[in-house]
Structure 1
Amino acid sequence: MTTSRFFGELYLRSTRPFLSAETTAREVAYLRESLGDLEVPGAIVDLGCGHGRHAAPLNAEGPLAGRILGLELDALSLRERLPGFPAVRADLRALPFRTGSLAGAYSWYSTLFVFSDEEHVALLREVARCLRPGGRLVFHTVPHARISSQGEATFSTRLPDGSLLSEESHFDAVRGRDEGHRRLTLPDGRLLSGRYSIRYYPLAELTQLLEFTGFSVLWVHGGLEGGPLTDASMDLIVGAATRRS
């Protein structure tokens, strides 16, 4: 049996083995630090929470305890999510929250940029609509310089459960998109196969996009340590706030 949806069982089964406890702990620490001083009242939503590796520990203890709400479209990820936080099933492009009801939001691994450019504008406006004035958005992606330097890429490996994972990707420099095809052959013989197209914006364009959709950039980091973005950075993490009226 073959399925063609990328962000579903294929994504969950093929990425979870690579998300170590150490990596998750470092990312959770960054989110606690970057959102923990948020005095705006209301919930903080994990946009595309997946199986909840950030949401569960953030909601359990620390300055964000009891404030985290997960949002995920994939039903399987929600069924298999870690315990300890509430979640809703919904599309990022049509958030089921009242205007000005949220204190903050965060998203990891380019989750916000897997749609068309026009949808990215609408999506960010939706997030801005739901946040209170002075609310905060934190998101992670990959620097444009890093992804544009890789060109063609291929990958194949055997996962711990015996599944065979393979992928081919190509960065389209004109459109600013990394386009790929991933296949996962499960131990029971099922083949999960799907294509993706992820948009990577140069920082100047990303800043313009945020300002156009109602945000002001607070910081730009090149990694979890909080250092500046450089040509050698492996990550791009942005903090932005909704403008106060």
Structure 2
Amino acid sequence: MSFFGELYLRSTVPFLSEETTAKEVAYLARRFEKLEVPGPVVDLGCGHGRHAARLNARGPLADRIIGLELDALSLQERLPGFPAVRADLRSLPFRTGSLAGAYAWYSTLFVFSDEEHAALLREVARCLRPGGLLVLHTVPYERLASQPEASFSTRLPDGSLLEEQSRFDAVRGRDEATRRLTMPDGRVLSGHYAIRYYPLADLTRLLEATGFSVSWVHGGLEEERPSETSTDLIVGAMLRCTRDPKQ
């Protein structure tokens, strides 16, 4: 089965606390507050909309959020309060130069090949207006490289058993894992996923090659500088005012 469907939704939502969501939403609101470019801001891979619903309700992005998600179940169960479209990240259903900004949380953009990641970022750049803002959240490459293997088994609040094993290949920069969810009724959901994690220098080059200029880099939601102990890597990148003729 596809990993980024019911398996991901049922096994991830229980870990997304109210406190965590509130802090992430506050961070995004602060970073988009000074955006002067008019127009919508898209939540790339919005899932069930825990960010989009709040950002669209109040603050600097009120009534400006559009969710984009491929998984039909996530859209069916999404929180109310924001419009959403079902589409693939690699083929965005927006007109050229129609968006003011975009954001993607939890390495959402980096589940494909390196070539597809470059094409995806060019697609985002195509849809943004000059000066538009892209915010990316991921995990520092160094954190995974220092602990390349991981496994866990835990019971979720509904009684489901969640099991996962992962291994990070530092040479390829890919974290590959298998996740298994045994539901209370005995139904089993299982799937494999791979996520690409770039060293910051490589991610910066990728963004610059696809039309962006990095504006800031944070190691956490308090906007601290990245360090060897950072659990997050958050990058803000502006679309350059002069579009690359190759895009």
TM-score between the two structures when normalised by the length of structure 2: 0.97
Counterpart check, 1:106 vs 2:107? no
Partner letter of residue 65 of structure 1? A
Residues 129-165 of structure 1: per-residue CA shift (max 9 Å, x gap): 0000000000100000001111111110000001110
1:148 counterpart residue number? 145
Counterpart check, 1:78 vs 2:75? yes
Residue 152 of structure 2: SS of its match in structure 1? strand
Separation in 2 of the partners of 1:173 and 1:223?
22
Partner letter of residue 13 of structure 2? R
1:235 counterpart residue number? 232
- CA shift, 1:188, in A, is 1.6
Separation in 2 of the partners of 1:73 and 1:197?
17
Partner letter of residue 138 of structure 1? V
Residues 21-49 of structure 1: per-residue CA shift (max 9 Å, x gap): 00000000000000121110110000000
TM alignment of 1:3-14, pairs within 5 A = 4-14=1-11
Counterpart check, 1:138 vs 2:135? yes
Counterpart check, 1:66 vs 2:63? yes
Separation in 1 of the partners of 2:46 and 2:101?
14
- CA shift, 1:93, in A, is 0.3
Separation in 1 of the partners of 2:171 and 2:219?
24
Runs of 4+ in 1 over 3 A off after TM superposition: none
Partner letter of residue 77 of structure 1? S
Residues 179-223 of structure 1: per-residue CA shift (max 9 Å, x gap): 000000111211111101100000000000000000000000000
1:223 counterpart residue number? 220
Separation in 1 of the partners of 2:147 and 2:179?
17
Separation in 2 of the partners of 1:75 and 1:123?
21
Counterpart check, 1:91 vs 2:88? yes
1:15 counterpart residue number? 12
State the structure with bigger RCO (CA 8 A, min sep 6), 1 or 2: 1
Separation in 2 of the partners of 1:163 and 1:46?
29
Q: For 1:33, which of 27, 30, 35 is the aligned residue?
A: 30
Partner letter of residue 8 of structure 1? G
2:199 counterpart residue number? 202
2:245 counterpart residue number? none
TM-score between the two structures when normalised by the length of structure 1: 0.98
Unaligned runs of 5+ residues in structure 2 are 243-247
1:175 counterpart residue number? 172
Separation in 1 of the partners of 2:30 and 2:169?
35
Unaligned runs of 5+ residues in structure 1 are none
Partner letter of residue 231 of structure 1? E
Partner letter of residue 46 of structure 1? D
2:190 counterpart residue number? 193
Residue 109 of structure 2: SS of its match in structure 1? helix
Separation in 2 of the partners of 1:111 and 1:150?
21
